[in-house]
Amino acid sequence: MSIKYYAKISGTGMCVPDKVLTNFDLEKIVDTTDEWIRTRTGMSERHIASENEAASDLTYKASLKAIKAARIRTKDIDMIIVATISGDYPFPSTACVLQQKLGLKGFPAFDISAGCTGWIYASNIAKQYIENGIAKNILVIGVEILTKITNWKDRGTCILFGDGAGATIISRAKPKDISRFIDSELSADGTQYDLLIQKAGGSRIPASKESVEENLHTVYMEGNKIFKNAVRSMYSACDIILKRNYLDVHSIDWLITHQANMRIIQALGKKLKIDEKKVIVNIEKYGNTSSATIPMALDEAIRDGKIQHGDLVLMASFGAGLTSGSLLLRI
């Protein structure tokens, strides 16, 4: 495919619920300690949705901030892609609910299911639609309310997740713009689909009294196997994209990885031999917000003045599927 235009991130925004759940709060729910959680995950607290808060609510607020940052009008948006595995409803898509909230209609809106790699997958799709000239301003969001599908009796997983939304506007870059998507690399290993899974609620095991009693509607994860896969697949996605663009890891200004676990981020950083100061980490405040971690970390780093216009950023993620992917871009 020939590229007619380049795509760039023109604005970002994020939203987390007001309610905060600290490690000390978790000590009262399951048999765990603040120290245990911090040493194994790097997390101190996470935000959790209230009873009447759903994915599209966070998405809407994050989107308004991204639209403002991109300096476009809401009606300039010509496509919406939401990456989520915990949308408002099994169907319709959260993207359509968001479209209604924004007072828009008449263009494509759809969700992407790629677990924690969701935003990387979604932004890669948006990139194609910008590059071939079909769309000009695509709203791409990673949002998750995982705490509503968390098994609160499993101390190995319930400590990990938080809720949040990260929104980005992916726009057509002007010819002289230095901001642009440079390259992307997506992959999946379906042979390991059952390592990270919500077992019931689909056509394999429809919702029933038994499926609820057996806790099959909550996140099931084989943590140790995921850990190994995460480090390996993100390293591979980064290595491929760096080599393909004749880049050394030292030429990267910032690395933003999926914020799943501090130990995974550290293991990946060590393997890539990247300077620790270049690795964006906000896991201590938000926990693992799945598909929202990368756009949230990007938004925060831009607003904090860490990531500046023109910086070369490498992003990498992995998630249920098992999916993985990387992105190389100039902000």
Which positions lie near other proteins, rule CB under 8 A? 39-40, 223-225, 227-228, 231, 261, 263, 267
Nearest CA to 19 out of 286, 330, 277 is that of 286
Work out how close the CB of 65 gets to other proteins at its nearest, in angstroms, rounded to a whole number: 35
CB atoms < 10 A from the CB of 153, how many?
Answer: 11
Residue 116 annotated among the catalytic residues of the structure: yes
Work out how close the CB of 38 gets to other proteins at its nearest, in angstroms, rounded to a whole number: 12
Work out how close the CB of 72 gets to other proteins at its nearest, in angstroms, rounded to a whole number: 43
Altogether, the residues listed in the chain come to a count of 331
**Which of 173/231 has CB closer to other proteins?**
231
Nearest CA to 79 out of 121, 111, 54 is that of 111
**Which of 181/235 has CB closer to other proteins?**
235
Q: Is 172 helix (H, G, I), strand (E, B) or coil?
A: strand
The active-site residue, picked from 116, 124, 137, 238, is: 116
Strand partners, 327: 184, 315
Residue 132 annotated among the catalytic residues of the structure: no
Residue 258 annotated among the catalytic residues of the structure: yes
Q: Supply 19's token pair.
A: 């309610």
Please tell me what DSSP assigns to residue 288: B
Q: Supply 139's token pair.
A: 């709203």
The amino acid at residue 167 is A
**Which of 40/217 has CB closer to other proteins?**
40
Work out how close the CB of 94 gets to other proteins at its nearest, in angstroms, rounded to a whole number: 33
297 contacts 259 by C-beta, under 8 angstroms: yes
Q: Report the DSSP pairing between strands 137-145 and 163-172.
A: antiparallel
**Which of 261/288 has CB closer to other proteins?**
261
Residues with catalytic roles: 116, 258, 288
